[in-house]
Amino acid sequence: MHSRYHSLSPPLAALALLALSFNCALAQSPPSSRVRGTIEAVDGDILAVKARSGDEVRLRMASDLRVAGIAAIPLSEIKAGSFIGVTTVPGPDGSHDAIEVHVFPESMRGTGEGSRPYDLRPNSTMTNATVDQSVVSNDGYRLLVKYKGGEKTVTVTPQTVLVTYVPAEKSDLKPGAKIIAFAKKLPDGSFETSRISVGRDGITPPM
């Protein structure tokens, strides 16, 4: 996923543009509504989603719907120089413990650069930054990441979920699929979305 997208096939080049729109949504302040959960049924352009909160959500797919896949990667994909997004929570010793890390393709370097509060968990933070150093320590794998105006050392543990973007289609939105959708709430209480990330091979989008 570190290839330069101007040399890639049209589907992968399109994925780079799609992923860019997803991560612009991740970086918005205030954020758009995010629906995280499992698809229970599909009825035309309506997804019935069981949200992680336990709520039942009706999610209408817009005519310009864009779908991106989320796939697992090994720790070796996170290297010095990689541009990443990382969601962290405060550790017991004041550390920044990574819940998830997603590696951006090279064409998306700089997207949403910076660190800001995030809604994945209480007190969580989203940081988009470049890996400056990586060090194996006794309590995990530590990454020094730098962004305009700051830096942060984050700890990657065996529980940290590591992912990247892969191609996906609307047909991947089927019962049992785990998703995160960026949506707006409609007057009838349902939601409409034009961007959905769907986990591949059983992955739950961790961001």
pLDDT in tens, 149-171: 999 999 999 999 999 988 899 99
In a domain, 205, yes or no: no
As given in the structure block, the two tokens for residue 129 are 């930054």
The rounded Cα 153 to chain-centroid distance in angstroms is: 20
Residue 8 φ then ψ, to 5°:
-95, 170
Please indicate, yes or no, whether residues 125 and 95 belong to a single structural domain of this protein.
yes
In a domain, 57, yes or no: yes
**More confident: 153 or 188:** 153
In a domain, 152, yes or no: yes
Please indicate, yes or no, whether residues 120 and 52 belong to a single structural domain of this protein.
no
Please indicate, yes or no, whether residues 86 and 152 belong to a single structural domain of this protein.
yes
Please indicate, yes or no, whether residues 26 and 13 belong to a single structural domain of this protein.
yes
Looking at the structure of the chain, the number of domains it has is 2
Q: What is the pTM of this model?
A: 0.79
Please indicate, yes or no, whether residues 93 and 145 belong to a single structural domain of this protein.
yes
pLDDT in tens, 5-26: 333 344 444 455 455 455 544 5
Please indicate, yes or no, whether residues 123 and 82 belong to a single structural domain of this protein.
yes
Please indicate, yes or no, whether residues 57 and 158 belong to a single structural domain of this protein.
no
- Mean pLDDT confidence for 104-115: 88
At residue 15, the pLDDT reads: 52
Closest by Cα among 169, 179, 171, 184 to 202: 179
Domain that holds residue 90: 72-162
In a domain, 116, yes or no: yes
Please indicate, yes or no, whether residues 115 and 62 belong to a single structural domain of this protein.
no
pLDDT in tens, 67-103: 989 999 999 999 999 999 999 999 888 889 999 999 9
